[in-house]
Amino acid sequence: MKILFSSTMTAVLFAAGSFLSPLHSAAQSSFDAQFINYPTYSGDDLELIVDNSGTHFRLWSPKAQEARVNIYTNGHTGSPSQVLDMKLDPATGTWTASVPEKLYGMFYTFQIKWNGEWNNETPGVWAKAVGINGKRAAIIDLAKTDPDGWNKDKGPDVSNFSDVIVYEMHHRDMSMHPSSGIANKGKFLALTEDGTVSPLGDKTGIDHLKELGITHVHILPSYDYNSVDEMNLQQNTYNWGYDPQNYNSPEGSYSTNPSDPSTRIREMKEMVKALHDAGIGVIMDVVYNHTAENDGSNFELTAPGYYHRHWDDGKYSDASGCGNETASDLKQMQDFIINSTKYWAEEYHIDGFRFDLMAIHDTETMNKVASELKKINPSIFVYGEGWTAGDSPLAIEKRALKENVSKMKNIAVFSDDLRDAVKGHYSNASDRGFATGKPGNEETVKIGIVAATSHPQVDYSKGNNSKFAYALSPEMIVNYVSCHDDLTLTDKLRKSMEGEPEQNMLEAAKLAQTIVFTSQGTPFMFAGEEIFRDKQGVHNSYKSPDSINAINWENKAKYRGQFDYYKELIALRKAHPAFRMTSADDIAKHLVFDKIDSSKTPNLISYSLKDNANGDYWKEIKVVFNGASQPQTVNMPKGKWLIVAKDGKIAHDGSLGVSSGGKIILAPYSALILARE
Least distance from Ca ion to the Cβ atom of residue 540, Å? 21
C-alpha distances (whole Å) from 160 to each of 412, 414, 581 are 12, 17, 9
Q: Whose CB is nearest to Ca ion? A: 224
Active-site annotation holder among 47, 193, 270, 356: 356
* Cα angle for residues 548, 498, 489 (degrees, 5° grid): 45
Distance, CA of 612 to CA of 55 (rounded, Å):
61
Sign of CA dihedral 367, 369, 375, 381: negative
Identity of the residue, 258 or 577, whose beta carbon is nearer to Ca ion in the bound complex: 258
Active-site annotation holder among 173, 385, 442, 491: 385
Least distance from Ca ion to the Cβ atom of residue 129, Å? 13
Beta bridge partners of 632: 666
Tell me the Cα Rg of the chain: 26
Dihedral pair phi/psi, residue 348, rounded to 5°: -110, 0
Strands (E) in 190-300, as ranges, are: 216-219, 223-225, 244-250, 281-286
Is 244 in a helix, a strand, or coil? strand
Q: Tell me how far the alpha carbon of residue 96 is from its chain's centroid.
A: 37
Least distance from Ca ion to the Cβ atom of residue 130, Å? 8
Identity of the residue, 224 or 417, whose beta carbon is nearer to Ca ion in the bound complex: 224
**Which contiguous run of DSSP H or E holds residue 421?**
helix 416-423
Beta bridge partners of 605: 625
Least distance from Ca ion to the Cβ atom of residue 223, Å? 9
Least distance from Ca ion to the Cβ atom of residue 14, Å? 30
Q: Tell me how far the alpha carbon of residue 35 is from its chain's centroid.
A: 31
Q: Cβ(385)–Cβ(349) under 8 Å?
A: no
Identity of the residue, 161 or 188, whose beta carbon is nearer to Ca ion in the bound complex: 188
Q: Tell me how far the alpha carbon of residue 246 is from its chain's centroid.
A: 19
Least distance from Ca ion to the Cβ atom of residue 231, Å? 10
Least distance from Ca ion to the Cβ atom of residue 132, Å? 9
Half-sphere exposure of 629 (CA within 13 A, CB side): 13
Identity of the residue, 249 or 464, whose beta carbon is nearer to Ca ion in the bound complex: 249
* Cα angle for residues 249, 255, 258 (degrees, 5° grid): 70
Identity of the residue, 252 or 648, whose beta carbon is nearer to Ca ion in the bound complex: 252
Max CA distance (Å), the chain: 85
Taking each helix axis from N to C terminus, what angle separates 502-518 and 442-449, rounded to the nearest 10 degrees?
A: 50
Identity of the residue, 238 or 641, whose beta carbon is nearer to Ca ion in the bound complex: 238
Half-sphere exposure of 533 (CA within 13 A, CB side): 24
Dihedral pair phi/psi, residue 372, rounded to 5°: -65, -40
Query: Is 356 annotated in the active site?
Result: yes
Q: Cβ(282)–Cβ(381) under 8 Å?
A: no
Least distance from Ca ion to the Cβ atom of residue 308, Å? 21
Query: Is 385 annotated in the active site?
Result: yes
Q: Cβ(165)–Cβ(573) under 8 Å?
A: yes
- Residues within the interface to Ca ion (CB under 5 A): 224, 252
Dihedral pair phi/psi, residue 364, rounded to 5°: -65, -45
Identity of the residue, 132 or 422, whose beta carbon is nearer to Ca ion in the bound complex: 132
Identity of the residue, 241 or 390, whose beta carbon is nearer to Ca ion in the bound complex: 241
**Which contiguous run of DSSP H or E holds residue 496?**
helix 489-496
Catalytic machinery residues: 356, 385
